[in-house]
Structure 1
Amino acid sequence: MAFSRSLVLFLTVSTQAAFGQEPAKTLPSLPAAPQQWLNSPPLTTEILKDKAVVFWYFEETCPTCEAKWPELLETAKKHEGEPVLFVAVCSGTSRPTVEQYLRRNKIDWPVLVDTDRSFEKASDVREISLQNIHQIKVLSGDGTFAEHGNFEIGEAADKVAPTGKWKIDPKEIPVALRPTWQQIEFGNFAPAAAVLKRNLASPKEDIKAGAEKLQGAVDAELQAAMTQASEAKSSGDTWKAYKTLMELPTRFKGYTLPATVGIDLKELKGSEGVKKELNADKALHALKQKVSGSKFSPKSVQGQMEKFLEQYPDTEAAAEVQEALSRLQTAAPGTGPTPPTNQ
């Protein structure tokens, strides 16, 4: 189940472009929907914490761009074992088209399918097209998100890689388990499950020890999530507890989850707080779909946002809509609360 900030992203990036707001200096929210990612589950700011990341925004219809992929993939290969991740962003294109492109060029990077260009705009990248075929942004280990001064991805990687750091030092993991280590390091636990299970029983001491170290890292992540959910539930934040637990079966597919996960989810889903949030989240997605399906001005969408706030107060979805509304009003000072009509 995806709980997305897409509406805020969609509404605010358009006004930023129109009214010239300052470029993003921190990484914009990454899409939570699995269908917007290829070669990877959805990446999050938590997964990328302390990591260095090179974002390559590219135009898939450009022959020059396509011809660069062997060089790009070789650059990434040179940085294997370093705390830097290469992420491609393809905007304005359908998922099937991007999938064909990846197969044709044997691209194994995580790829963000930015069909509506929301991430591109939030990144303050000028629209990628045949007139602007590629751009580079880098995320440093300290969280700084910045434009790279030129189009050389090797220079970008050399510059940003030293700022990142690992959770698990790859030097402590046997070479045979490095692909599995990389999956776990970047929070991609599910695909690593079968390999870990097999190698935990390996007759080779170094392989078994490496698998045990990786399994320990997975167990620690699972326990941290369980603790987070328990603390949220104890403090009365049933929605946070519910969201955290809902992610576990997918995030840790292939691992044994505590029996309490299912019991707690059933209990939480019946609570008034979670029911209220689920209804608001459903309405938020409907509002986003309605707004994104047509051209709109800040004025035309304002009334719908205010109505949403009246219908779903004190919810996470309402907070997102309020944030978007506030930014809309800041970007376009002429917009304010809609005055009441005379009855």
Structure 2
Amino acid sequence: MQKFLITGIVFFYLIASNAASGADPLPVFPRNPSLWINSPPVSTEMFKGKAIMLYFFEEGCPRCLAKWPELMNFSKKLNGEPILFIAVNSGTPRNQLLSYVRTSRINLPILIDEDRSFETACGVPEISLDNIWQLRIITADGKLTTGNVSQLEEVARKALESASWNLDPKEIPASLKNTWVNVEFGNYSAAAKMILKNQTSGKIEVKNAAQKMLEYVNNQLNEELKSANSDLEMEYKWNAFKKYSNILQRFKGYEIPEEVGQNLRTLNADEKIQVELAAQKRFSLAERAFSSRSISSRKKAMIILKKLVLEHPETEAGKKAEAAIEKIEGSSVLK
């Protein structure tokens, strides 16, 4: 397997996200679509209450190559179950891996871990011809565990013991399956049109399914609103601001209580919120600069980060920047 220089944006996003959490977080899936094959980006938030199996493999190994038919058949058996099988390749450039995937006719979701950040975050010993595959499971209750590649079905059964769908797919008619998928994985705004349209459907099974989905979405909205209101009452204004903003985005298309907009307008006028927003904008600027393979662009990103820490150390972005600087300076990304 080819060694590969750290690619910047993956490394930067991983350490910034981990810094924001303040504890041992689950591995962060990259948001960049170019780091995925056969799948759009996924996240642990999307799979909350569900399980994820992570298969790390060495593409230069004949045994790994011969195992793909078994893995793809195994993945088919998981269809309809609240679990996702993802293959992870560490240390190989996208174009080289794409050629391998096409030649081998692999149809599974594949995460491209060019800089081995994801491999490291999962506690996986470096994949190589001496360590050809590893299995990790993210359980429904948010824990990262180790599995045996030779016992896939047993590992899956155990992972499924605590995993579940929010809404029983057996109660969803075919015409609303895509809508159900969006609801299950938290993409509520994409489901809004079909859910609302079918509230008065002449087909009873369609109407009932649409009503159940609407009830579920409204419950999620109310839970998030309750959390935002609690933060506001506790004077955690920045957390409340982020949660109210998230409600407007995630639940676009549904009936959102007027208090969400009212509280957002009030918070937006707060001086501390303005500082947090300005700091976040500068952090995003550094993130974009760091996505470049140009060393000079990355050095400019470091200047932005250091200035952010100097001027706004108390902000969320300032704390992320401080942690990012520490990790970056101990790496090879600026060389």
Query: Contact 1:89–1:113 (CA<8 Å) still a contact in 2?
Result: yes
1:187 equivalent to 2:186? Answer: yes
Residues 136 and 151, structure 1, Cα contact 8 Å, conserved in 2: no
Q: Deviations over 1:44-77 (max 9, x none)?
A: 3x44333222123356788876775554343233
After superposition, residues 170-319 of structure 1 pair within 5 angstroms as: 170-174=169-173, 177-258=176-257, 261-285=260-284, 289=289, 308-319=308-319
Q: Please, which of 15, 21, 24 is the counterpart of residue 10 of structure 1?
A: 15
Residues 245 and 265 of structure 1 are in contact (CA less than 8 Å); yes or no, is this contact kept in structure 2? yes
Q: 1:199 to 1:76 in 2, by over 3 A?
A: farther
Q: What percent of counterpart residues are identical?
A: 35
| 1:188 alignment partner AA | N
Report the Cα distance in structure 1 between the residues aligned to 2:212 and 2:47, rounded to whole angstroms.
21
Aligned pair count reads 311
* 1:1-343 aligned within 5 A: 7=12, 9-10=14-15, 27-31=26-30, 39-40=39-40, 42-44=42-44, 46-58=45-57, 71-91=70-90, 93-94=93-94, 105=105, 107=107, 109=109, 112-128=111-127, 134-150=133-149, 153-174=152-173, 177-258=176-257, 261-285=260-284, 289=289, 308-321=308-321
Number of the residue aligned with 1:20 = none
Distance 2:156 2:193 in 1: 32
Aligned-pair CA distance for 1:135:
3.2
Unaligned runs of 5+ in 2: 1-8, 296-301, 331-335
Residues 1:270 and 1:95: Cα distance change in structure 2 (over 3 Å): farther
**In 2 relative to 1, CA 148–249 (structure 1 residues): closer, same or farther, beyond 3 Å?**
same
CA distances 1:246-274 after superposition (whole Å, capped 9, x unpaired): 33454334445445545544443342222
The TM-score, its normalising length taken from structure 1, stands at: 0.67
Q: Give unmatched runs, 5+ long, in structure 1.
A: 14-23, 296-301, 332-343
Deviation at 1:164, TM superposition (A): 1.6
Does the 8 A contact of 2:54 with 2:87 survive in 1?
yes
- Hey, what's the Cα distance between the residues in 2 that align with 1:215 and 1:320? 37
CA distance in 1, matches of 2:294, 2:61: 28
The Cα offsets for residues 217-239 of structure 1, whole Å up to 9 and x where unpaired, read as 11111222233233323333232
How far, CA to CA, are the matches of 2:211 and 2:198 in structure 1?
Answer: 9
Counterpart CA distance in 2 for 1:196 and 1:112 is 32
What is the deviation of 1:186? 2.3
CA shift, 1:203, in A, is 1.7
- Distance change >3 Å, CA 171–CA 291, structure 1 → 2: closer
> Residues 297-335 of structure 1, C-alpha deviation per residue, up to 9 Å, x if partnerless?
xxxxx9997775432222112333555688899x9xxxx
How far is the alpha carbon of 1:122 from its aligned partner? 0.9
Contact preservation (8 Å) 2:50, 2:165 = yes
- 1:221 match: secondary structure: helix
Change (3 A) 1:11 1:210: closer
Deviates more, 1:146-155 or 1:309-318: 146-155
Q: Contact between 1:138 and 1:145, CA under 8 Å: does it hold in 2? A: yes
Give the Cα separation in 2 of the matches to 1:322 and 1:293.
22
Deviates more, 1:67-76 or 1:90-99: 90-99
C-alpha RMSD of matched pairs (Å)? 4.6
Q: State the alpha-carbon separation in 1 of the partners of residues 246 and 32 from structure 2.
A: 12
Relative distance call for 1:278 and 1:142 in structure 2 (3 A) is same
Partner Cα distance (1:152, 1:206) in 2: 39
Q: 1:119 to 1:89 in 2, by over 3 A?
A: same
TM-score for the superposition, normalised by structure 2: 0.69
1:213, distance to aligned residue in structure 2 (A) = 0.6
When residues 115 and 241 of structure 1 are mapped into structure 2, their CA distance, relative to the original with a 3 A threshold, is: farther
| C-alpha contact (below 8 Å) 2:11/2:115 kept by paired residues | no
